[in-house]
Amino acid sequence: MQVKDILRDCLKKLSIADFLDEATYTSVQNALVSRLLDCLNLIYQEVASDYFPLTFSESVTLDGAVLNYSTLSNRLIKPISLENNGKNIVFVTLPSGIESDFIGEATLTYNYLPATLNISSSIDDYRLTGGLLSDGVIGEYYFLDSVFDLAAAYDTKFRKDLSWVSTKGREIKVKERRWGM
């Protein structure tokens, strides 16, 4: 799904005419798009860090010292595992990097934050719909504008829909019965 489509849905919910296909924006339109993109990035990072973590495996070279987070391809949230030929390697997470006594090539698997979205970006997660994300964006937008009743309404709908999407299925319950005594 395209970010532009999510912003269109946001403009529709804000009762603002769609201007996203125009060649140039006015300063007011540019400020609105910038603010909506900031809200979308905030919401998408929250979803990626709390509900649907993005996982990446990367080959790293360890030299028995600290592997700096800045050398990784993505912004790390939490390291999951460090392996060499299928064997786990013991490591310690530090504020600046990952420390391990191992020397050589290894595979680091970690959760990461997504890159900052712009108007031409796309979100390729089938679990997230444009309506779901636009509800979260509008909730943040109204919160920033101090319209707390609308912010609470959109945020509640966003969180309810997100919890529904994030559950794997219904809980199966067996009715309580009297078994033979």
In the chain, where the domains are located? 3-51+128-163, 54-113
> What pLDDT does 181 receive?
56
Three-class DSSP category at 2: strand
> What pLDDT does 18 receive?
93
> What pLDDT does 164 receive?
87
**Residue ranges with strand state E in the chain:** 54-63, 66-68, 75-84, 87-88, 92-93, 97-99, 103-113
**Residue 144, C-beta contacts closer than 8 angstroms, at least 6 positions apart:** 35, 39
Low-confidence ranges of the chain (pLDDT < 70): 168-172, 179-181
Looking up tokens 């959760």, which residue turns up? 111
Which two three-digit tokens encode residue 39?
Answer: 């809200």
What pTM does this model have? 0.82
Which strands make up the sheet holding 54-63, listed edge to edge? 54-63, 103-113, 75-84, 87-88
Amino acid type, 123: I
> What pLDDT does 126 receive?
86
Three-class DSSP category at 54: strand
Nearest to 76 by CA among 59, 98, 91: 98
Measured CA to CA, the distance from residue 78 to residue 59 in angstroms comes to 16
Instruction: Let me know: does 67 contact 98? Beta carbons within 8 Å.
Output: yes
> What pLDDT does 171 receive?
67
